[in-house]
Amino acid sequence: MSPKVSRRNFLKKSTAAGMGAALISHMAVENVMAQTPAPPGSLPVVISSVNGLEAVKKAFEMIKGGSDPLDAVIAGVNIVEDDPNDMTVGYGGLPNEDGEVELDASCMHGPTCRAGSVGALKFIKNPSTVAKLIMDRSNRIMLVGEGALKFALAHGFKKENLLTDKSRELWLKWKDNLSTHDDWEPPHDKEGNPITHGTINCNAVDARGNIAGVNSTSGMAFKVAGRVGDSPIIGAGLYVDNEVGAAGSTGHGEANIKVVGAHTVVEFMRDGASPEEACVRTLKRIVEMQKKAPKWWGELQNVAYYAINKRGQFGAAAIYGETRYAIATREGVRRLECAYLFKKPAGAN
């Protein structure tokens, strides 16, 4: 029988034996950005999807006032979650096939390497806040469905009807036109584009280089009940590494999950790519995977990434053009055009 080895002695021996290899490995992947001081006045920076103009403004002001970047981006996203006119997030979000609003969200705190997320959460309009609560009040990362709701109620959240008259009207219109020959075909907006999915992603880096991010969504419109997309999946819809940067996504969640998109963007940045370049390279992976997918998978739908690095450099890219994002810097709050792979085809979302 082998002699017993205490856990402490095992760790000491393992650490000593692996010290040289670990040091070499660390040096090999050392993040240059983390060693390069940010240009004077370039921080803080907050980036978001196009629906987050008020969110980046709120988060930027909070960070300038000394708030933690995660508290700031969640406060910003709460504005959009509370807005009944944004039918892709929170209150007023478009429901699932049964007419029930199911929300997903995730958050990550770079300085402490913590994360929290919720999936298929009903009756609570601020899933991003619940995700942070899971991060702060438990040693778990993801809660879903009834479990997520019970957790929220136990911590003082109140049940609310999240279905507005406007979102109910669209759901009823969809039900009236539902066909046995389509795949839960969604309604279309005034421009003829299908209303399928929408999300808010918001990431920030403060003046000290600390990074945080959050994603929140009501998911694909009229989805199969219980469907969860990429938004609450750490590494897919959101990823933060305090030594590198943060990235998040909006758009077709299933396509993004397959490439673990947000994590992939951050890893490209770790290897030296700019935020925009990292987003573009990850989108190209989606396109290549789509080419190999069976025909029933459907047309290539839009996906967009929003990224920021530790130095305050930022960028965004989408599969299709005419996609924008929101940014807040010391130069002001504004919307910018995403880089893109293809011009927007007729009927593309």
> What are the pLDDT digits (tens) for 55-113?
999 999 999 999 999 999 999 999 999 999 999 999 999 999 999 999 999 999 999 99
Domain assignment of residue 151, yes or no:
yes
Whether residue 194 has pLDDT greater than 60: no
Give yes or no: 217 in active site.
Answer: no
Q: Is residue 257 part of a domain?
A: yes
User: What's residue 347's pLDDT?
Assistant: 46
In which domain, by residue range, is 183 found? 36-342
Assigned domain for 26 exists: no
Report yes or no on 17 lying in a domain: no
Is the confidence at residue 14, as pLDDT, over 50? no
Rounded distance, CA 254 to CA 306, Å? Answer: 17
- Does residue 9 sit within a domain? no
CA distances from 286 to 61, 259, 272, 301 (A): 35, 7, 21, 10
264 lies in some domain: yes
Question: At 298, is the pLDDT very low, low, confident or very high (cuts 50, 70, 90)?
Answer: confident
Catalytic residue among 199, 282, 323, 329: 199
Closest CA to 238 of 219, 218, 257, 210: 257
* pLDDT level of residue 12 (50, 70, 90 thresholds): very low
Overall number of domains in the chain:
1
> 185 lies in a domain?
yes
Q: Domain of 127: which CATH number? A: 3.60.20.30
List, in sequence order, every residue forming a beta bridge with 108; answer none if it has no partner.
115, 213
Domain-embedded: residue 119: yes
Query: Is residue 84 within 8 Å of residue 227, measured between CB atoms?
Result: no
The pLDDT assigned to 295 comes to 80
